[in-house]
Amino acid sequence: SARVGRLYLVEVANVGREHIEAERAGRLAEPGDIINRSLVTLGLVVSKLGRRKRGVQAYGTDKGISRIPYRDSMLTRILRAPLGGNARTVVICALTPAPWNVEENKSTLRFAASCMRVR
């Protein structure tokens, strides 16, 4: 019997503080808008998967986690199988030692912790 596998290599760009502040003000350049919405959706998907798979609440009892929003961005559509399916997934997060990137590093570490909750 043959085994078939897929390898997904995805690099997710850092949005940067200027894009986050622009979004809060209601204005975004198109590339930043697309990247930021994809990152927000990815974070939401990972968070909901972590809560669902940990068994924090029974499946479907909480309206907030009953629907995983895979279709809300192209990134999460592509990553649907590796994130929520029968797959082994590795997430590598990169940090920078620069002192002015502390907030971005904290955000990256929170995302990594959220990914670890998905089983």
In a domain, 74, yes or no: yes
pLDDT (0 to 100) of residue 44: 92
How many domains does the chain divide into? 1
Domain containing residue 36? 17-116
CA 69, CA 41: separation in Å to the nearest integer?
A: 7
In a domain, 4, yes or no: no
Q: Which two tokens stand for residue 12?
A: 């997710």
pLDDT (0 to 100) of residue 17: 58
In a domain, 6, yes or no: no
CB 116 within 8 A of CB 79: no
pLDDT (0 to 100) of residue 63: 53
Residue, of 90 and 12, whose pLDDT is higher: 90
pLDDT for 53-85, tens place per residue? 655 554 555 555 568 999 999 999 999 999 988
Q: Which two tokens stand for residue 105?
A: 């590093």
Residue 23: count of CB within 10 angstroms of its CB: 16
CATH number at residue 76: 1.20.58.980
In a domain, 34, yes or no: yes
CB 114 within 8 A of CB 47: yes
